[in-house]
Structure 1
Amino acid sequence: MRMIAAILLAGSLIGSAAAQLPGASLPSYRDTGKSAPARAADLVARMTLEEKASQLVNDATAIPRLGIREYNWWNEGLHGVAAAGHATVFPQAIGLAATFDAPHIGQVASLISTEFRAKYLAAQHRFGGSDWFGGLTVWSPNINIFRDPRWGRGQETYGEDPYLTARLGVAFVRGLQGTDADYFRTIATPKHFAVHSGPEASRHRDDIRPSAHDLADTYLPAFRATVMEAGAQSVMCAYNAVNGMPACANPALLTDTLRGAWKFNGYVVSDCEAVADTYLPDHHGFRRTPEQGVAAAFDAGMDLICGGAVESEHIVRAVNSGVLRQAVIDRSLVRLFTARIKLGQFDEAATVFPGITAKDYDTAANRAVALDTAERSLVLLKNDGLLPLRAAPRRIAVIGPNADSQAALVGNYNGDPSHPVTILDGLKRRFPDAAISHVEGSGLIDPALQPVDGNDLCVDAACRRRGVTIEHFVDRTFAGRPDTTAVVERADHAWSGALQSGAVRFTGYLTARENGDHVFRYEANGGYRIFLDDKPVVDAWNVDWRPSIAAGRVRLEAGHTYRLRVEAFQRATEGRERLLWSPPADPGAAAAVAAARAADLTVFVAGLTAQLEGEEMPMAVPGFAGGDRTSLDLPAPQQALLERVHATGTPLVLVLVNGSALSVNWADAHVPAILEAWYPGGQGGDAVARVIAGDVNPAGRLPVTFYRTAADLPPFTDYAMAARTYRYFDRPVLYPFGHGLSYTRFAYSGGHVSQRRIRAGAPLTVSVTVTNSGDRAGDEVVQLYVSRPGLPDAPIRALIGFERVHLAPGERRRVSFALDARALSTVDAGGVRRVMPGKADLWVGGGQPLSGRDVVPPGQALHVAITGTVTLPE
């Protein structure tokens, strides 16, 4: 009772925020007339060492005597409010990049920040503070360079180009933080600083040693832009080491570059458990003890540890032992509380963004913007004239593992769309009069699986009773007696009602119908194991929070009976689980071929999901390892089914749903229309259907290169940029960076440079007239590239400007680009950025001048002579 009373008292003190004794003067940290840093310094000065340490981890505890609410700094907003229930889910970040539309991405980020504020108002608890994924400090955007298409987290980025990433990163940060003079709507956190892009499996021990050229030319420019132009108030340091020092304990990065050269005045948060990496011997092992590890991080310029409460204890011991100066953590605390004050957490709620209410999230208006964004992100890779459809088909076959998949809409770091529209849903909505048949036909990496039928299952070996026995246990050790036992028809289970947690075990006997290899999987929201005759077929027990799609293959004999055991545990409070299999005859593929043969149009929805590519996954299946990819090909079962479906002769549209490049060489040679949809967000199905129908003219562009094969690339672990990305790759590709087709045509004329000869560092304006010469309205993405022939360290070409314009048929528009010194600069081998003398070749057009395709995008070549040399700051 004494503890409950203390909690209630703490809650009342914090809830009254400004509780004061009669006649008491207002403490400085509550005085809104003072600056946020001054208020923060006053507040920090009132804390004990233990209280200070409690505020230096992401799950910061309440300090009732000072009116400090409990606050968890961890929140995610990569493409919408994540992990907090229903929210508007925009296309995954790689899809946002494909819009090539910085103003629109800024609008998207602004809507996301409003939804964060609304969620914050709706869900405040724990003494008025914020729990996990309930705060206003947003660990987004991910502006790492997608240097290699095998990286599983590349879907979270804006692609492979430093300039495109910088422009979209600046727009996103500004949109998240807002323009209010007094408060930040949220605080953005560009990540992961720096030089971070896989492999996932070794990220806690990798020491990346980029050349000085690559560091300045590729890996740092987007971070510089989000800090110096957008004013990002937070940065997240990475897991990997850079040049021998962990990124979160690296003074060259955090002090010399970030705070010194770039004048960053916000706070640095570690990636989660990255500070532990500094002292764990099987990780970086940079320091021998936890106390030395946290000291190294704070001394280097890191301010907030994402990690457990144990790190608070390490901080206290580090200070008491003299390893870490209290003045250093005071510096970090002032930065952190400056941020919380600028978020309005110590001021009257009615004065902080009063126009935002707790209902301003997941609105119909925001979902309309998500649909518009998805439409802008779609890239038409190939079209032999099939699209747009000339008439509504009478019969449509919709095939493929991603056709009716919500996971294929959302990617990772996602919210939960309240009105999700899969591609199947979208086609049904757009073609309500068509007879639409849906056959999955193939799984992502296995044949199409179906529930094991009750007629194949028996409780006992003599098969006196059909079904299986299910036992429910309190925990996953299966210790003791089960709390419930029953006989059910099939090995499936709904986690709801009284059974919302724990583990289940099915036992019984299975009789095979066919000779040959059978594939088994348990569709689950947790870990699972499948045994036949006590031999493991699938072991997916040690999974993380993501549903596994691990399957096993075993040869069975027709008519033979096998002892079956399935064990599974639950990670969610609700959800249905079931035992699936595919017999050797592969009936799913046969049904898909039959559906395609009977249709007037086939839409094959192929690709990946975040169950295959993503962050540090404890899984290895053919083509994938630990979240990364080992092959760029379409998974073999999907490729085989695609070829069979194509052989029916029915007109075929291939829709790719994925977060990284796919080497669809066979499809490019045989399929008449290919549409890249990325992970298109909650309303993505409507967007795809509208593009296929011709209601929307696609204009997305590739933010990454689609290579012909992973064999064309250097090793994944090699961070040198030579032979990587369009800037340094000089071999033929499948689809180049910047590629994207339209249903109309565009022409370029009147290309002009403001000066044909300029002094190094002088501004330059490039302009061109763009005309829609077709008969359909559409968007054109005007792209400006520069090449510096003869300079040994210069890229082959580099994007230095882009603008997306909408033109009606016959309409023309003058598009201009104002270039500063950095646009025409290059980085030398020593990492120094300069504008060098010599010829600058410019190309302004609808894509790169040498696309590798049969049709070169329209555009114009221009030339400028530069005299003199200018060295630019870091």
Structure 2
Amino acid sequence: MVVVVMFVSILMSCNSNKKEVAFQFQDESLSAEERVNDLVSRLTLKEKISQLRYDAPAISRLGIPEYNWWNECLHGVARAGEATVFPQAIGMGATWNPDLIFEMGTAVSDEARAKHHQFIKEGKRRMGQGLTFWTPNINIFRDPRWGRGQETYGEDPFLTGKIGVNYINALQGDDDKYLKVVATAKHFAVHSGPEKSRHQDNYQTNNKDLYETYLPAFKAAVKEANVYSVMCAYNRYRDAPCCGSDMLLQKILRNDWGFNGYVVSDCWAINDFWQAENHGVVETPAEAAAMALNNGTDLNCGNVYDPSLNDAILKELVDEVAIDAAVKKLFLARFKLGMFDATEHVKWANIPYDVVASKGHLALSEKVAQESMVLLKNENKTLPLSKDLKSIAIIGPNANATQALLGNYHGTPQQFITPLKAIKAKLPNAEIHYALGSDIATGWSTLTPIPITVLKSEGEAGLKGEYYSNNVFKGTPEFTRVDSIINFVWTPKRPINNLKSDNFSVRWSGAIKPTESGAYRIGLKASSFAKLFVNDSLYFEFSAEYEPKTKYFDTVLEKDKSYNIKIEYNNALSDPQAHLLWAKLDEDLITPAIKAVNKADVAILFLGLSPEIEGEEMEVELEGFDKGDRSEISLPKNQIELMKKVHATGKPTVVVLMNGSALAVNWAANNVPAILEAWYPGEFGGKAIADVLFGDYNPGGKLPVTFYKSVSDLPDFKDYNMANRTYKYFKGDPLFPFGHGLSYSNFEYSNLNIADQVSLKNAINISVEIKNTSKIAGDDVVQIYLTHLDREAQNAIRTLVSFDRVHLAAGETKTLNYKIDAEQYAWINAEGKKILEPGNVLLSVGGKQPNFTGVANASSTSVFTKRVLLTN
């Protein structure tokens, strides 16, 4: 009896300490599944449907706050103000270093958590402020024309899978109860351009290509990283829209792979189902909503589910059980993120805000940038350049371009270290002669802030700015001042002190009074809603809901004539910025560049592309470019002309490429002694470039894509079959092959040890020695490729099956060991099945692919091959 009384007493004591809850789903002692079931049981049908949209509204009666599922962290937290900006994803691929990308993902998710909880404290729950991230993009960069290829890790499924898995693991964290953030593998599946027709295209492939190329990275994300979310693609695959494909979303993703997270549509992709000018596979929004939900798309980025699912219910196209299942998946994610629990109980909720753009994170961004650098050519050891140079010409459209540091889907860095800025800092005593030389492409003028010298407002230099603490110009301004130039990035501080939200607006007014007559391009770049008036006429208005957008118009201005100008900027986002820009058209840019080169000891040309003209579904139509994609893969003609004229001066010339996709730099490969590929290298990109150019960092990156010589070498852009694509199937001569990259060190491979015969299903064990034979420490990437010699007609030329980035001190030798298991050396047949059978395979082990010559051969490393017989 005493024991019973004591037990009852203890139980009553525990219950008395238990937090009172109004609803069962608020009870943290219950499992997440129990809590979700209770919550959903309390919702009306209308409320359930409302939670299937990306901007889910609050349900006040249950104490459920609004939540916006749309967040990005492709290479750092994006579109949410201040953040560390790492190199673009293609540069991450060029590191060939999954461990480094895990470190990066940990830093990114730290910043994501810290920023989210700070936003919540400030009452902010908008786009870019949540914990569900639509990252990573693990599509295969099968064609260099694709403008969004910069978002991927390259053309190889194995490399993509290894980097993607590590990034996902770092983002989602290692806690048994709570997810750090939700990662989203996108775009599922068979998706890589063209951008302009992605809403209409219907792609077909054979099963071999599907299971060998397009699915492995997604399978790894699900099976190895337990990615919690998958985003389906815009296009159709085998006649069904990807966001309404039973084959992709049910059979493969859920049934075959056991995926138990949620699927989100790409944005407004479900609208394409019923729009006749797009896929047009159904006739009404209700049918589109039913098709997507019934086939496995749980969350709608767009406006079809709400309200069209209600109509679908009434027409018996979908039942409430399917809606319940989707709603439960979404709320389960929110519970697993700890959104309904006390912050002190959630491991990730107490990361301090000072991790954002912290010294450690900035140093890591610089390290990733350094490791992403790929030295394509270095004839006669042109690089590294001497720091004793007295005079250097810095030429080219990317030498001082901040956007070329960032790529797309980026945050706002604290600083922009362009190559020009970095080289000036590294060589403070040298004369630096800078000239633009050319625009990035003919017709795409290089816009710069309109200077104070031509802006006038009521007798003062500059424009009058009226600043309001709301985003609708309501009431009187908080203050009025004259701004010398309109070139603002309000991160992390807002222009108005103690502003409680992101809502503010600014009206600038005054006049432009040019000091030269001529044709001009006037542009406005803004991150939110903006209007531009000239002489009281509205020239354009736009909204930039996702990333800053630039609009412009061309006009003729007369010297000393005043043109009234007014800008209205309305901010509602967490990344506010506004820039009033211009360029004088038809200027001779080459002559000043040649003058600069003639004054210098060496010329460094910063060429390439820009995320302003290659990227996602753009309006850009220039020669060689097509709505975000490219129709040609060579450098724009004006850049080639600049390069040839600089080279003709006879001055030593180095070319640095900044771009998101492979470039056919054929003339440079044949004529310029040194070429460095730098990608879009993040906020420390300029410093990383300067470190490589002047020998403070020894490059070790390798190409994650093939550099072809011409689009004429490639199949049709819309042909998704892999024949004659990527290093695996390309039968021509590449300019620079996949896996190519030079070093200032020299690496020799020796003592390759592989058994002559291996029994099927056993691992192939590999041992090899690598020696740095130079006097400088450096990195090489050990690349192991496999060829099925008895099945060459059915299989790739070679397939990457293992890789390892290795650092060696000067003169150091390391013995390295690898295992290639049966899963890796199996081959995929026409039905998409893995086949293990006896036969001969060829393994190549070294710092490059075998059998290339000339500039395509990486002379600073070596490679061995070995035939192995697989036996029963």
Q: Above 0.5 in TM-score?
A: yes
2: CA distance, partners of 1:104 / 1:407: 24
Deviates more, 1:798-807 or 1:423-432: 423-432
Alpha-carbon distance, 1:725 to partner: 0.6
Q: 1:635 corresponds to which residue?
A: 636
TM-score w.r.t. the length of structure 1 is 0.86
The one of 383, 402, 410 equivalent to 1:406 is 402
2: CA distance, partners of 1:543 / 1:121: 25
- Return closer, same or farther for 1:193/1:802 CA change in 2, 3 Å cut-off: same
Q: 2:96 corresponds to which residue?
A: 100
Deviates more, 1:767-776 or 1:828-837: 828-837
Q: 1:762 corresponds to which residue?
A: 762
Q: 1:575 corresponds to which residue?
A: 578
Q: 1:824 corresponds to which residue?
A: 825
Deviates more, 1:798-807 or 1:663-672: 663-672
2:230 is paired with a residue whose SS is strand
| 2:449–2:580 contact (8 Å) kept in structure 1 | no
2: CA distance, partners of 1:495 / 1:387: 36
2: CA distance, partners of 1:564 / 1:25: 64
Q: 1:774 corresponds to which residue?
A: 774
| 1:212–1:831 contact (8 Å) kept in structure 2 | yes
- Return closer, same or farther for 1:216/1:454 CA change in 2, 3 Å cut-off: closer
- Return closer, same or farther for 1:590/1:521 CA change in 2, 3 Å cut-off: farther
Stretches of structure 2 that go unaligned for 5 or more consecutive residues are 1-15, 469-476, 497-503
| 2:409–2:547 contact (8 Å) kept in structure 1 | no
Alignment of 1:482-493 (within 5 A): none
Q: 2:867 corresponds to which residue?
A: 863
Q: 1:11 corresponds to which residue?
A: none
2: CA distance, partners of 1:138 / 1:630: 31
Please tell me the residue identity of whatever aligns with 1:731.
Answer: G
| 1:735–1:853 contact (8 Å) kept in structure 2 | no
2: CA distance, partners of 1:21 / 1:330: 34
Q: 2:751 corresponds to which residue?
A: 750
Q: 2:785 corresponds to which residue?
A: 785
| 2:25–2:39 contact (8 Å) kept in structure 1 | yes
Q: 1:319 corresponds to which residue?
A: 313
| Cα-to-partner distance string for 1:472-493 (whole Å, 9 max, x where unaligned) | 9x9xxxxxxxx9xxxx999989
Alignment of 1:634-653 (within 5 A): 634-653=635-654
Alpha-carbon distance, 1:695 to partner: 1.0
| 2:233–2:242 contact (8 Å) kept in structure 1 | yes
Q: 1:850 aligned to 2:851?
A: yes
- Return closer, same or farther for 1:143/1:639 CA change in 2, 3 Å cut-off: same
2: CA distance, partners of 1:44 / 1:853: 65
| 1:524–1:576 contact (8 Å) kept in structure 2 | yes
Q: 1:351 corresponds to which residue?
A: 345
| 1:550–1:621 contact (8 Å) kept in structure 2 | no
Q: 1:222 aligned to 2:212?
A: no
Alpha-carbon distance, 1:147 to partner: 0.6
- Return closer, same or farther for 1:383/1:529 CA change in 2, 3 Å cut-off: farther
1: CA distance, partners of 2:229 / 2:256: 16
- Return closer, same or farther for 1:436/1:344 CA change in 2, 3 Å cut-off: same
Deviates more, 1:424-433 or 1:293-302: 424-433
| 2:404–2:610 contact (8 Å) kept in structure 1 | yes
Alignment of 1:685-764 (within 5 A): 685-753=686-754, 755-764=755-764
Alpha-carbon distance, 1:28 to partner: 4.0
1:708 is paired with a residue whose SS is coil
Alpha-carbon distance, 1:470 to partner: 12
1:124 is paired with a residue whose SS is helix
1: CA distance, partners of 2:766 / 2:413: 42
1:187 is paired with a residue whose SS is coil
Alignment of 1:556-635 (within 5 A): 574-583=577-586, 586=588, 588-635=589-636
Q: 2:393 corresponds to which residue?
A: 397
2: CA distance, partners of 1:323 / 1:707: 49
Stretches of structure 1 that go unaligned for 5 or more consecutive residues are 1-19, 460-464, 475-482, 869-874
Please tell me the residue identity of whatever aligns with 2:635.
Answer: L
Please tell me the residue identity of whatever aligns with 2:788.
Answer: R
Q: 1:132 corresponds to which residue?
A: 127
1: CA distance, partners of 2:633 / 2:142: 14
| Cα-to-partner distance string for 1:314-347 (whole Å, 9 max, x where unaligned) | 1222223322111111111221111111111111
2: CA distance, partners of 1:453 / 1:407: 20
1: CA distance, partners of 2:310 / 2:320: 9
Q: 1:304 corresponds to which residue?
A: 299
Please tell me the residue identity of whatever aligns with 1:674.
Answer: I
Alignment of 1:73-88 (within 5 A): 73-88=69-84
Q: 1:72 aligned to 2:68?
A: yes
| Cα-to-partner distance string for 1:588-626 (whole Å, 9 max, x where unaligned) | 321111111111222211111110111111221111111
Alpha-carbon distance, 1:433 to partner: 2.0
Alpha-carbon distance, 1:431 to partner: 1.4
1: CA distance, partners of 2:357 / 2:200: 40
2: CA distance, partners of 1:633 / 1:551: 26
| 1:510–1:564 contact (8 Å) kept in structure 2 | no
- Return closer, same or farther for 1:424/1:828 CA change in 2, 3 Å cut-off: same
Please tell me the residue identity of whatever aligns with 1:347.
Answer: D
- Return closer, same or farther for 1:688/1:306 CA change in 2, 3 Å cut-off: same
Please tell me the residue identity of whatever aligns with 2:260.
Answer: N
Alignment of 1:401-480 (within 5 A): 401-446=397-442
- Return closer, same or farther for 1:448/1:257 CA change in 2, 3 Å cut-off: closer
Alpha-carbon distance, 1:234 to partner: 0.6
2:162 is paired with a residue whose SS is helix
Q: 1:9 corresponds to which residue?
A: none
Alpha-carbon distance, 1:495 to partner: 11
Q: 1:52 corresponds to which residue?
A: 48
Alpha-carbon distance, 1:756 to partner: 2.6
| 1:542–1:618 contact (8 Å) kept in structure 2 | no
TM-score w.r.t. the length of structure 2 is 0.86
Q: 2:499 corresponds to which residue?
A: none
1:715 is paired with a residue whose SS is coil
The one of 247, 258, 283 equivalent to 1:263 is 258
Q: 1:479 corresponds to which residue?
A: none
1:711 is paired with a residue whose SS is helix
- Return closer, same or farther for 1:519/1:834 CA change in 2, 3 Å cut-off: farther
| 1:529–1:541 contact (8 Å) kept in structure 2 | no
> How many residue pairs align between the two structures?
818
2: CA distance, partners of 1:171 / 1:837: 33
1: CA distance, partners of 2:521 / 2:19: 73
Identity of aligned residues (%): 41
1: CA distance, partners of 2:308 / 2:153: 37
Alpha-carbon distance, 1:503 to partner: 9.4
Please tell me the residue identity of whatever aligns with 2:805.
Answer: R
Q: 1:273 aligned to 2:274?
A: no
Please tell me the residue identity of whatever aligns with 1:616.
Answer: E
Q: 2:246 corresponds to which residue?
A: 251
- Return closer, same or farther for 1:450/1:36 CA change in 2, 3 Å cut-off: closer
1: CA distance, partners of 2:187 / 2:680: 22
- Return closer, same or farther for 1:547/1:134 CA change in 2, 3 Å cut-off: closer
| 1:544–1:618 contact (8 Å) kept in structure 2 | no
Please tell me the residue identity of whatever aligns with 1:353.
Answer: K
1: CA distance, partners of 2:419 / 2:46: 53
Alpha-carbon distance, 1:34 to partner: 3.3
| 1:774–1:810 contact (8 Å) kept in structure 2 | yes
1: CA distance, partners of 2:216 / 2:397: 38
| 2:486–2:578 contact (8 Å) kept in structure 1 | no
- Return closer, same or farther for 1:563/1:631 CA change in 2, 3 Å cut-off: farther
